[in-house]
Amino acid sequence: MSRTAARPPAAAKLTEPGWLTTTLGDADYEFLCQLIYERSRIHLGPDKRVLVASRLAKRLRHLNLNSYQEYCELMRSPAGAEELQFLIDRISTNHTHFFREIKHFEFIRDVIIPTWNAVKGRKEPFRIWSSASSTGEEPYSLAIHFAENFAPAESGRWQIEATDISTRVLEVATQGIYEQERLTSVGPEALRRHFQKGEKKWAGHFRVKDELRRRVHFHHLNLLEGAYPFAWSFDLILCRNVMIYFDRPTQETLVQRLTAKLVPGGHLLVGHSESLSGVKHSLKLVRPAIYLKPAA
Ligand SMILES: C[S@@+](CC[C@H](N)C(=O)[O-])C[C@H]1O[C@@H](n2cnc3c(N)ncnc32)[C@H](O)[C@@H]1O
């Protein structure tokens, strides 16, 4: 690795100790942004350059590359296709936590579950889709909520699908192991009922119990590509804190695709900071960040 003492041009600079000084220049940044946009529709503005540079720093070291330029060359080579998944994994923001945006869970408990509980004679389960599930906290929060609020005899009446574009987060989600401090919003009773306490090397961690983990099915899926691989429509879809990264036309396309996968009378929940105002859609706003697909 060569080190340079020369002052780099104004661009995102990597200056971690023990690491060369290299910069993510305009052309390389634009190239990476375009690639990320084409693959995931995540829109990165100029303000994200430092973030991208720092998130890729470790990867460059791992690949023994000396500069972002070399990384871009790799992306242009046949090996780039495989590397692209890694790039998306590093760039997508996966922040989440249990029972995030509690108003949604209150709505599910107070409105959705009583409505579903009152339905008689329905053969198929109620279907829920956590469409950008990240490391699993969202779909497991849903599973806890449904396990707690449907009578045990009704437990076969709901099923959860959970998807994400990032294979890295899906691995974490599938394992269902979380540090204790990430579980404060679960509450001691639910923690005891639905989690197993780790011992020895897993001390300080909890694992979602098998019976709950079995109720959540994780899949790798890009929300913006191809037909959705579900033969059925959903009664409830959560698409929270992901649209914020997309531009308006992409948000519109996504909302239309998700609406097509909702049953009439089904609900779409978006993040509270993701207004659909300015996005063309056919849904009815029932509460902040909660939309209903009207009956046909
Ligand atoms: C900030 S997390 C939100 C997690 C959870 N929904 C919540 O609100 O806590 C955003 C997630 O969206 C995923 N994502 C980004 N672009 C996506 C796409 N095109 N298709 C599917 N998932 C995507 C990211 O990998 C990330 O895990």
The domain spanning residue 166 has which CATH number? 3.40.50.150
Asked if 198 and 204 touch (Cβ cutoff 8 Å), the reply is yes
**Among 89, 90, 92, which residue has the most ligand 1 atoms within 8 Å of its CB, making it the best to mutate?**
92
Last residue of a domain, one of 91, 113, 148: 91
pLDDT of residue 275 exceeding 90: no
Structural domain containing residue 125: 102-292
* Separation of CA 8 and ligand 1 centre (Å): 34
Q: Does ligand 1 have an atom closer than 6 angstroms to the CB of 165? A: yes
**Residue 145's pLDDT is what?**
95
Question: Based on the domain organization, do 52 and 85 belong to the same domain?
Answer: yes
Q: Does ligand 1 have an atom closer than 6 angstroms to the CB of 104? A: no
Mean pLDDT over each residue of the chain, to the nearest integer: 89
In which band, very low, low, confident or very high, does the pLDDT at 76 lie, cut at 50, 70 and 90? very high
**Residue 153's pLDDT is what?**
63
Joined tokens for residue 127: 């279907």
DSSP code of 201?
Answer: G
Number of domains the chain is built from: 2
CB count within 10 Å of CB 84 equals 16
Amino acid at 263: V
- SS3 state of residue 124: coil
Question: Based on the domain organization, do 157 and 48 belong to the same domain?
Answer: no
Instruction: Give pLDDT tens digits for 77-136.
Output: 999 989 998 898 888 888 999 999 999 999 999 999 999 988 888 889 999 999 999 999
Average pLDDT over residues 251-270: 97
**Residue 111's pLDDT is what?**
96
- Residue 2 falls inside a structural domain: no
Question: Based on the domain organization, do 164 and 261 belong to the same domain?
Answer: yes
pLDDT of residue 42 exceeding 90: no
Joined tokens for residue 64: 């023994």
**Residue 19's pLDDT is what?**
47
- Residue 16 falls inside a structural domain: yes
Question: Based on the domain organization, do 282 and 186 belong to the same domain?
Answer: yes
- Residue 7 falls inside a structural domain: no
* Separation of CA 241 and ligand 1 centre (Å): 7
Asked if 53 and 16 touch (Cβ cutoff 8 Å), the reply is no
> What pTM, to 2 d.p., does this model score?
0.85
Q: Does ligand 1 have an atom closer than 6 angstroms to the CB of 66? A: no
Average pLDDT over residues 268-287: 93
Question: Based on the domain organization, do 81 and 116 belong to the same domain?
Answer: no
Nearest-atom number in ligand 1 for the CA of 89 is 25
Last residue of a domain, one of 60, 91, 122: 91
- Residue 218 falls inside a structural domain: yes
Average pLDDT over residues 224-253: 94
Question: Based on the domain organization, do 274 and 138 belong to the same domain?
Answer: yes
Question: Based on the domain organization, do 25 and 115 belong to the same domain?
Answer: no
pLDDT of residue 16 exceeding 80: no
- Residue 60 falls inside a structural domain: yes
**Residue 12's pLDDT is what?**
52
Average pLDDT over residues 257-274: 96
Average pLDDT over residues 202-231: 96
Residues noted as catalytic: 55, 164
Q: Does ligand 1 have an atom closer than 6 angstroms to the CB of 85? A: no
Q: Does ligand 1 have an atom closer than 6 angstroms to the CB of 270? A: no
Average pLDDT over residues 192-199: 96
* Separation of CA 255 and ligand 1 centre (Å): 15
- Residue 96 falls inside a structural domain: no
Q: In angstroms, rounded to a whole number, what is the distance separating the alpha carbons of residues 23 and 54?
A: 10
* Separation of CA 10 and ligand 1 centre (Å): 31
Question: Based on the domain organization, do 158 and 252 belong to the same domain?
Answer: yes
Q: Does ligand 1 have an atom closer than 6 angstroms to the CB of 149? A: no
